[in-house]
């Protein structure tokens, strides 16, 4: 079993490395997010221990990029504090479990064993509503055969709508699903993004799938 340890603090990385080696695991160390991405796309690791605080690109971003590139090794994220936001951000970015620093090495071993037993997470299924298709793993959206480029936020909003086709979602529900909790809670931001999505996904194709439900929110339906 081969594990990638992603941690810039040399002392911490060495402590983890020594303890995993004693457990009979093969280990590699990356001291930043970019190096981790380069290594994990080449080697198929059985698990990745990923620190959130990295000098170049955060653990959250690193995990997200790994998933976008189709790397599905289980990720155990090391967070600095037991903050709900950190936990949610970690799981959102595609991590499988998290451990709060400081932790006991025995717990790290137990969590890793359990992650590896669970196996690789399933690749998330491609969503489709009418002629719209969204691939969460590849971060791609198609209207029919045409690839449509969306920003990260447009993508997140569309993904939220595509998970519940035909249902009315309120602006608040959409904000909660597409933005992190730190985001300023202004509902008109949703209206702006819905307009952008219509310009990209409906207008060029003569469809009308993003429906405004007056004073409630929005609904995505099959093309009309
Ligand atoms: Ca660190």
Examine the pLDDT at 215 and tell me if it is beyond 60. Answer: yes
Model pLDDT, residue 85? 76
Q: State in Å: Cα 80 to ligand 1 middle.
A: 9
The fraction of the chain above a pLDDT of 90, given in percent, is 51
b/e 152-175 (16+ beta carbons within 10 angstroms → b): eebbbbbbbbbeebeeebebebbb
Examine the pLDDT at 204 and tell me if it is beyond 70. Answer: yes
Model pLDDT, residue 181? 45
Q: State in Å: Cα 12 to ligand 1 middle.
A: 8
* Beta-carbon-side half-sphere exposure of residue 214 (alpha carbons within 13 Å): 0
Q: State in Å: Cα 30 to ligand 1 middle.
A: 11
- Cβ neighbors of 96 (< 8 A, separation 6 or more) are 74, 75, 76, 115, 118, 121
Q: State in Å: Cα 88 to ligand 1 middle.
A: 19
Q: State in Å: Cα 52 to ligand 1 middle.
A: 7
Q: Which residues surround ligand 1, an ion (CB under 5 A)?
A: 8-9, 51, 53
Model pLDDT, residue 182? 45
Model pLDDT, residue 190? 85
Model pLDDT, residue 186? 60
Segment 47-51 mean pLDDT: 96
Q: State in Å: Cα 31 to ligand 1 middle.
A: 8
Examine the pLDDT at 23 and tell me if it is beyond 90. Answer: no
pTM here is 0.56
Q: State in Å: Cα 204 to ligand 1 middle.
A: 46
* Beta-carbon-side half-sphere exposure of residue 40 (alpha carbons within 13 Å): 33
CA angle, residues 125, 1, 80, in degrees to nearest 5: 70
Q: Which domains does the chain have, with CATH numbers?
A: 2-118 (3.40.50.2300), 127-220 (1.10.10.10)
Average pLDDT, the chain: 87
Q: Are 171 and 217 in contact (CB under 8 A)?
A: yes
| Token output for 82 | 């037991």
Q: Give 173-196 pLDDT, tens digit per residue.
A: 887 777 654 455 565 778 888 999
Q: State in Å: Cα 110 to ligand 1 middle.
A: 21
Model pLDDT, residue 210? 95
Q: Which residue has the higher pLDDT, 76 or 223?
A: 76
Q: State in Å: Cα 135 to ligand 1 middle.
A: 32
Model pLDDT, residue 220? 95
Q: Give 57-85 pLDDT, tens digit per residue.
A: 999 999 999 988 888 899 999 988 777 77
Tell me the backbone φ, ψ of residue 69, rounded to 5 degrees: -90, 10
Pairing of strands 2-6, 47-51: parallel
Examine the pLDDT at 7 and tell me if it is beyond 90. Answer: yes
Model pLDDT, residue 192? 87
Q: Are 154 and 163 in contact (CB under 8 A)?
A: no
Q: State how far the Cα of 119 lies from the Cα of 1, in Å rounded to an integer.
A: 12
Q: State in Å: Cα 11 to ligand 1 middle.
A: 10
Q: State in Å: Cα 9 to ligand 1 middle.
A: 5
Of 108, 113, 9, the closest CA to residue 52 belongs to 9
Q: Where do the DSSP E strands lie in 95-223?
A: 97-100, 127-129, 132-135, 140-143, 146-148, 168-170, 210-213, 217-220
Q: State in Å: Cα 156 to ligand 1 middle.
A: 28
Q: State in Å: Cα 190 to ligand 1 middle.
A: 35
Q: Give 82-132 pLDDT, tens digit per residue.
A: 777 777 777 778 888 889 989 999 999 999 988 888 766 556 678 899 999
């Amino acid at each position: 079993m081969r594990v990638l340890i992603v941690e810039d603090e040399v002392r911490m990385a060495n402590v983890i490395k020594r303890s995993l080696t004693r457990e009979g695991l093969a280990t590699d160390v990356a001291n930043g997010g970019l190096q981790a991405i380069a290594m994990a796309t080449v080697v198929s690791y059985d698990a990745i221990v990923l620190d959130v605080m990295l000098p170049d690109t955060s653990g959250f971003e690193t995990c997200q990029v790994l998933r976008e590139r189709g790397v599905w090794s289980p990720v155990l994220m090391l967070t600095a504090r037991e903050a709900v936001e950190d936990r949610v951000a970690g799981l959102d970015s595609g991590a499988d479990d998290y451990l709060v620093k400081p932790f006991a090495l025995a717990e790290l071993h137990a969590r890793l064993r359990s992650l590896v037993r669970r196996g690789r997470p399933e690749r998330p299924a491609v969503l489709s509503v009418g002629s719209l298709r969204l691939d969460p793993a590849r971060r791609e959206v198609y209207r029919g055969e045409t690839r449509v480029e969306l920003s990260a936020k447009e993508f997140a909003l569309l993904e939220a709508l595509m998970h519940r086709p035909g249902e009315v979602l309120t602006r608040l529900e959409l904000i909660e699903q597409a933005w992190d909790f730190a985001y300023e809670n202004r509902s008109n931001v949703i209206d702006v993004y819905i307009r952008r999505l219509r310009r990209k996904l409906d207008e060029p194709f003569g469809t009308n799938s993003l429906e405004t439900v007056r004073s409630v929110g929005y609904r995505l339906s099959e093309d009309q």
